[in-house]
Each structure stands twice: as structure tokens, then as C-alpha cells.
Amino acid sequence: MTTWIRRGGLTTLLFTAPLLVIFGVFSWWPIVRAAVMSVQKTNLVTAPKFVGIDNFTHVLADPLLWTAVQNTAWFAGIALVFGYPIPLVLAVLMSEVRRFRGLYSAIAYLPVVVPPVVAVLMWKFFYDARPDGVFNTIIGRFGIAPQQWLQSAGSALPSLVLEATWAAAGGTVIIYLAALIGIPPELYEAAEVDGASLWHKVWHVTLPQLRGVLLVTLILQIIGTSQVFLEPFLFTNGGPAHSTLTILLLIYDYAFASSLGGDYGAATALSLMLAVFLAVLSAVYLRLTKSWSTS
């Protein structure tokens, strides 16, 4: 013990103790509390009642769960196809610019600075379904009829993906720009000597050098889009006809919505199921891509 104190162990413990206490109270205790509530029937007022796995069976039997899973997967898929490559393309283009690169970076990052609720309300105004709405006015210039952006079950979810991509792309662009700085310039010089075009430099130099970053941002995007809540909640509240109901929005409905509200056991059960799924998915993904990211 004396040796441990001399080597600074006591000082280390004193400095880390507040962090451990705060992290435990605000991070780990809610997780433990949620695990306990998932096997209880409680309204957070009266004494809880132990119900075992009834909350899980109730959630799995709810037809809205599979609608929410399908919508969430559809949202994540569209965001992956369109939202994943856009930040990389923007970052590569900005890295090739010789002037005003800082200005372009600031413009790209600006949507991240806008408060999320403000951004959603702004886009909700853009999505006005009237003929004189912002987006309908723009497409009207090309002879396209006004669209029911958020009122149609077919276009509501893609409209949410468009706003979410705009709001989140800036942060990923900055990550890619920082990674591009770390690529040795000799590789690009050698490619230019060989007569490589911009596309060949991107394919044979940029992408291999960014492989590790690309793999990390991919799993982060999958996790983030699997937990989408703000856009469907503020834009459509899950409508029309449950076409934008997501897993997190269903969790909210279980706990707080007027039609299903007060079922905190089901809400925490579904939360744990989503957490376990994402944890397993992340572990499998990292295991499969471990050799790719280091080679």
C-alpha cells in the first residue's frame, strides 16, 4: 500500500473518483435501472410488480413492432446508399480546392451548428405541400407537379432521410478532411507522374488510405440511423399510416404517448432489445472488418 501511494496511486484515485461517480450515476445506473424495469410492470408511482418476460413477449407480439423495424431498416438503408458517400465526395472535392477551403469547410459544417429542432422546423416549412411551398415552387420550375412530401406514405420517409443527411453530413466531412491531411503527398505525386486522373487517385490512393476511417464511420452511421427519433417525431409523429414509425418512436409511444402511454416496462424492454441487437451487430462488424482496417 505504501509503495502504491508513493507511485501516485492515491492521487490517481482522487482525480478519477469524481469522474467514476458521475459516470456511474448518470450512465451505468440508468442502464441497470432499465434492465430491472424491463421485467416489471410499473407506472413509476406505485410499487412495481415483477412480471418476468411478459414485457418482452408483449413487445414481440405487437404488430407495430415489425412495422417500426421495417421502417427503421428502410430509413437506415436509404441513408446508407445516399448519405454515406456524400460526405466523402464533398471532402475529396474540398481537398482538391486550392482557395477558400476554410470557407467551404465552414459551409459544410454549418448544418451541424444549427440546433436539430430548428433544422427540422425549417425543413418542415420547405416541405409545405401547397403549390407555393419552397420545394414545390422549385420543382414547379421544371414542370413537375406539387408533391405531398410529408403527407404521402411513399415519400414521407425519403423526405426525412434527406433532411437527416443534410443535418449530419457536415460532421463526417470534417472527419474525412482531417483524415485526408494524413495521407502522404508522395502517393499523390507518384500517381500524377504515372498519369493518374482524379478518379484513379481517389480509387487507388484515397480510398485505401481512408479504409479504417470509412469502416468506423459506416458502423457509426448504421447505429445512428437505427436510433432515429427526432425527424419522425417532429416531422410526422410516425405517420402517415405508421409509414415513418421507428423503433425509438415506438419506445416513446409505449412510455409517453396518449394512446399507449404508461407502459414503461414495455418501453424499457424494447430499449434493451435494441441495445443488445446493436451491440451484437457492432461486435460482429468489428470482428469481420478487423483485418480490413489494419491491412
Q: Please report, in tens digits, the pLDDT of each residue of the chain (295 residues total).
A: 778 777 777 888 888 999 999 999 999 999 999 999 999 988 777 888 999 999 999 999 999 999 999 999 999 999 999 888 899 888 888 887 777 877 888 888 888 889 999 999 999 999 999 999 999 999 999 999 999 999 999 999 999 999 999 998 888 998 898 888 888 888 888 888 888 887 888 888 888 888 888 988 999 999 999 999 999 999 999 989 999 999 999 999 998 875 555 889 999 999 999 999 999 999 999 888 887 766 5
Same domain for 135 and 180, yes or no, is yes
Whether 76 is covered by a domain: the verdict is yes
Same domain for 96 and 149, yes or no, is yes
Whether 46 is covered by a domain: the verdict is no
Neighbouring residues of 55: CB distance < 8 A, sequence distance ≥ 6: 38, 39, 40, 41, 265, 266, 268, 269
* pLDDT (tens digit per residue) in 178-236: 888 888 888 888 888 888 887 888 888 888 888 888 988 999 999 999 999 999 999 99
Same domain for 92 and 125, yes or no, is yes
Whether 233 is covered by a domain: the verdict is yes
Three-state secondary-structure class, residue 79: helix
Same domain for 143 and 268, yes or no, is yes
Whether 192 is covered by a domain: the verdict is yes
Rounded Cα distance, 59 and 69, in Å: 12
Number of domains in the chain: 2
Same domain for 178 and 276, yes or no, is yes
Residue 258 dihedral angles phi and psi, to the nearest 5°: -65, -30
Three-state secondary-structure class, residue 49: strand
Same domain for 28 and 57, yes or no, is no
Same domain for 14 and 62, yes or no, is no
Whether 231 is covered by a domain: the verdict is yes
Rounded Cα distance, 179 and 195, in Å: 24
Whether 247 is covered by a domain: the verdict is yes
Same domain for 25 and 67, yes or no, is no
Neighbouring residues of 107: CB distance < 8 A, sequence distance ≥ 6: none
Q: Which domain holds residue 19?
A: 1-37
Alpha-carbon distances of 191 from 96, 178, 204, rounded to whole Å: 15, 21, 9
Whether 243 is covered by a domain: the verdict is yes
Same domain for 174 and 271, yes or no, is yes
Whether 272 is covered by a domain: the verdict is yes
Same domain for 110 and 20, yes or no, is no
Same domain for 65 and 143, yes or no, is yes
Same domain for 94 and 204, yes or no, is yes
For the domain that residue 266 is a member of, what is the CATH number?
1.10.3720.10
